[in-house]
Chain A
Amino acid sequence: MTAASVPQAPAGPARLPLVGSIRLLRLELRRSIMLWLLPVIAALFWLITYRSAMSNPPMWNIRAMSMQTSILAVFVPTIVGAAAWLGSREARHGLTDLLSGTARTRWVRQLATWAATTCWALVAYLGCVAVLYTVTARQATWGGPLWWPVAVGAASLPASAALGFVAGTARPSRFTAPVVAVTAFLALEITANFIHGDNSPWQVSPLVAGPWEIGPDQGVATFYPYLRDLPIVQLMFLAGLSVALLAMLGLPAGSGSRRMRWFAAALTTGGVLATVAATALAGTGRLDPHGMIAIPALHRASSDRPVPYTPVCADTKIPVCLHPAYAVHLPTVVAALDSVLGELAGLPGAPVRIEQAAASYQQESPNGVRIGRSGKVMSGNPPTLHLLLPMQGGRSMTVGELSSALRTETAHDIVNSVIGGDRRDLSPAQQAVLDAILKTSTLRPGTPAATAAQRLAALPPAARHAWLTQHVAALRAGQIALADLP
């Protein structure tokens, strides 16, 4: 230890407190525990979020919404745990006395540590989003990235870090971090189970990207814009929570000057009020017909206007046109419906074009959602058939499942609309014709209807088409009996 070369004392007050705070942040960033957790986050993201998102079709809506839900399951417990570990750092390392005697206020010191944790969390989060969105951008056939789910996820990180930090500061123990991490995960998952219906205040949870009962749904935010109502409420909640928690750190005696503590108290109150207001707003939500949660106080009428698009069409005998977001499904649709469309093309009253329609959503009590088609199956002159793809019913399906559903359900609906006028109770003759066209055997073998269906199916396609052209109007009107079938 040398007694010489003493530099001139830099003991005066810092003239640039902001510069000092930034350097403090830089130091915290260099030594943040979050750096060690980045590989863990990357691995969890790949296991939980990425693989799950990639199992969905390459559509921005479903990828973004499923990401919002699953990525928080990765980030929130990790960030809460890391922040709790850092929050308890001073006491765990026996530095409380030493740090208490320094000039910079405790609040500023704690905020620097919290900010470093949050910065790394945001870097990791945005990196994960970038990976997912880059892959989706290469695969998606229409639309662009949805930023509201990204914003909600991003806003969850400062709140999670604040929550963990406050817990770590309040209970400085090496067990605090794992306990609060597990608690945060369970709290997220459990509170989601409290969501019943479209007016549940629990929808304020950042896990929620749409109607909780149906989860991420392909039918949402395609024909109509992604509603910003619920994300705004969630952002308000998360911002309020972050501010309230961080301001709480400035409340104890010794955190700063009296004025600063009053300021912290005002911020805490403001944050709590914002959190309560956001929760109350979430409780006023309603399921809009396009499948998103609308908050009346925040809803803009312009959000109800459909998004313009140019459909992608297949050159089938009756042209089939899908929304470009579903373009990836067009070959499957054509392969499944081509033969049926060949049978129906040119028949009187048959559609000249099949267009995909938007699904319509309706909340059912207490927590069910009915998804269907809005309006008539066929409209216009010449008629256009409005098609609802099976996965627009809130179902997630593989290509095989889609193909099977198209051959049975969709083809049935199309034929029914032509020969049965979209009635449910078909006459035996209509049933027989339906079976003959679909080449299915839904009728009991040996019955007159089944026999008639087999007979009609056995006819050459041209002869069957000629008979249908001549008799389809009478068939639709219920004036053809089984005996009249060729």
Chain B
Amino acid sequence: MNVVTADLTRRFGRTVAVAGVTLDAGPGVVGLLGPNGAGKTSLLRVLATVIPPSSGRIRLLGQDPGSYRQRRQIRRRLGYVPQNLGFYPGFTVVEFVEYFALLKEVPPAVVHRAVASAVERVDLGDKAKAKLRTLSGGMLRRVGIAQAIVNEPELLLLDEPTAGLDPEQRVAFRALLRDLGQRATVIVSTHLVEDVGAACGRVSLMDKGRIVFQGTPDELTARGEGTAAAGDAPLERGYSAVLAAARS
């Protein structure tokens, strides 16, 4: 298992953002669903080793992120796209991705190849030399994905990665996710349940800091069958039904 958490909690003052989450994930794409404020972003930040957990156990890629040395090992094998992706406007696409490749300690000898490959994989080859300030929101999102995959991560954490992508790009992105999920653990936090249905092998649904459902997209869909849960698509109805049950 690349991700193992047990009773993981993260507090910000009196607010409990993540409340005793237990999650195991191996290779494959895991969709993380939940309403706003459910704790998805906080959970991803903990998994990305950006913030430490307040309590609970966590092992990532077989290592303990609480240890500095092991945390560094994890970070070399980790890709992360935060919800609010920042960028340096004066950098070109290639420079920005190279910057992160170097920060992720990709061996210098392969940096150029890794950067070129990552940029190509997000279809930005023709914009490789363009300054980031000249790119559209969707293109910037793809740059964010490129920096996340430049080190061929074994654990990829994506927070709302398809926000700002047009339908064609989202379809392509789902294909990329499926491909990455062949070897790596990909956890995708999203509001778009169709992304989950199309690309994820497993789904976790969070509400109020807790995981209220874990299973396959089909299992989530099944939860909505025969109920009056809101939603235009079967998966949405499953989503609504699980949330309603968790809150009742």
Interface residues of A (CB under 8 A from B): 1-17, 19-20, 23-24, 27, 30-31, 89-90, 93-104, 109, 256-258
Contact = CB atoms under 8 A, between A and B. Distances in A.
B91 A11 contact: no
Interface in B53-77: 68-69, 72-73, 75-77
Interface stretch (B3-11, B27-35, B147-155, B231-239): B147-155
A280 to B, nearest CB: 38
Nearest to A1: B172
Contacts of B100: 98, 102
B114 interface: yes
A258 B68 contact: yes
Interface string B76-109: 1110111011111111000100111011111110
Given A1-B142, A3-B176, A24 B107 contact: no
Given A1-B123, A4-B179, 11 more contacts: A7-B117, A10-B113, A14-B106, A14-B108, A20-B108, A23-B102, A90-B86, A93-B87, A101-B49, A104-B104, A256-B68
Contacts of B169: 1
27 contacts: A1-B123, A1-B145, A2-B120, A5-B120, A8-B152, A9-B152, A10-B107, A10-B114, A11-B76, A11-B77, A13-B105, A14-B105, A16-B107, A20-B102, A23-B111, A27-B99, A93-B89, A94-B86, A98-B81, A98-B100, A98-B147, A99-B103, A101-B78, A102-B75, A102-B100, A104-B105, A256-B68
B50 A100 contact: yes
Contacts of B78: 101
Contacts, number: 140
B104 A27 contact: no
A134 to B, nearest CB: 33
Given A16-B107, A23-B111, A3 B175 contact: yes
Nearest to B69: A257
A30 B103 CA distance: 17
B110 interface: yes
B175 A103 contact: no
A98 B86 contact: yes
Contact of B48 (A16, A101, A257): A101
B200 interface: no
Nearest to B145: A1
Contacts of A27: 95, 98-99, 102
Contacts of A14: 105-108
Query: Which of A8, A19, A20, A256 has the largest number of chain B CB atoms within 10 A?
Result: A20
A2 B121 CA distance: 5
B67 to A, nearest CB: 10
Contact of A103 (B89, B105, B110): B105
Nearest to A35: B90
> Which applies to chain B's interface (DSSP): helix, strand, loop or mixed?
helix
Contact of A17 (B95, B105, B117): B105
Contact of A102 (B87, B88, B104, B176): B104
Interface of B: 45, 48-50, 68-69, 72-73, 75-78, 80-82, 84-91, 95, 98-100, 102-108, 110-111, 113-114, 117, 120-123, 142, 145, 147, 151-154, 169, 172-173, 175-176, 178-179
Contact of B176 (A2, A15, A103, A257): A2
Given A10-B110, A15-B107, A17-B105, A103 B72 contact: yes
Contacts of A94: 84-86
Nearest to B106: A10
Given A2-B123, A20-B108, A23-B102, A89 B88 contact: yes
Most chain B C-beta atoms within 10 Å of own C-beta, residue among A9, A93, A95, A256: A9
B103 A31 contact: no
Contact of A11 (B48, B117, B142, B154): B154
A90 B91 CA distance: 13
Nearest to B80: A101
Contacts of B91: 31
Contact of B179 (A6, A10, A96): A6
A21 to B, nearest CB: 8
Nearest to A99: B103
A24 B108 CA distance: 10
A103 to B, nearest CB: 4
Contacts of B89: 93
A1 B173 contact: yes
Given A27-B99, A103-B105, A13 B75 contact: no
Nearest to B92: A31
Contacts of B75: 101-103
A156 B112 CA distance: 36
A211 B7 CA distance: 69
A1 B108 contact: no
A240 to B, nearest CB: 29
A17 B104 CA distance: 11
B120 A31 contact: no
Contacts of B99: 24, 27
